[in-house]
Chains A and B, each alone.
Chain A
Amino acid sequence: NAGVTQTPKFRILKIGQSMTLQCTQDMNHNYMYWYRQDPGMGLKLIYYSVGAGITDKGEVPNGYNVSRSTTEDFPLRLELAAPSQTSVYFCASSYSSYGVYEQYFGPGTRLTVT
């Protein structure tokens, strides 16, 4: 199993550009999450999904959108990129949050907006 994979690894965007961060998991997990990690700060939850077709906001959703059309994929869309979105983005998945299972993380996407 590859686990959780993310693409791209690095990206530089200009202010106002848009992009999609890709996330795929091959563990047949129902739950998927997007976090951002800023230097010296804890990971912050952006959006999460409890299954295909169901998504919900986390702590810091402004400026982002998500969709979940399949169990495996959970892309994160940035519209009109801003310097405040410069961060490292991590995708994670877990079997079931109701049963409080551990989350498994991808390697991250480092995004710079200039």
Chain B
Amino acid sequence: EDQVTQSPEALRLQEGESSSLNCSYTVSGLRGLFWYRQDPGKGPEFLFTLYSAGEEKEKERLKATLTKKESFLHITAPKPEDSATYLCAVRGGGGADGLTFGKGTHLIIQP
């Protein structure tokens, strides 16, 4: 059974204070790891897909990295508008044709 664990559950940062969110996973044959952003009352918004260890992707202040056991979402010099819940999900090689999600990290950026 695929499993995703995200840490911390919640994180409060000052504007401009860089940090990283962790996503640890166990999966039979990783076919893809996904990061989503979710604002209150909205559906998840796609950010990144990572396919293999060593891969990195960037978008504005966000950078996602992947190893064989975990992924990190690095946030550089965050702004208040980066406040959201960040979800990590994996697509394994077997089972139902959907994603297995972690519980998310609730990020608050204070001005």
Contact = CB atoms under 8 A, between A and B. Distances in A.
A33 B53 CA distance: 27
Given A41-B103, A100-B31, A102-B49, A58 B96 contact: yes
B103 A40 contact: yes
Highest count of chain A CB atoms <10 Å: which of B44, B46, B89: B44
Contacts of A42: 4, 87, 89, 100-104
A104 interface: yes
A100 B45 contact: no
Interface size class of B (residues with CB under 8 A): 20 to 34
Given A42-B87, A48-B97, A59-B96, A100 B44 contact: no
Interface string B4-22: 1000000000000000000
Nearest to B33: A100
Contacts of B99: 43, 45, 103
B101 A105 contact: no
Contacts of A105: 36, 43-46
Nearest to A41: B103
Interface of B: 4, 31-32, 34, 36, 41-46, 49, 51, 87, 89, 91, 96-104
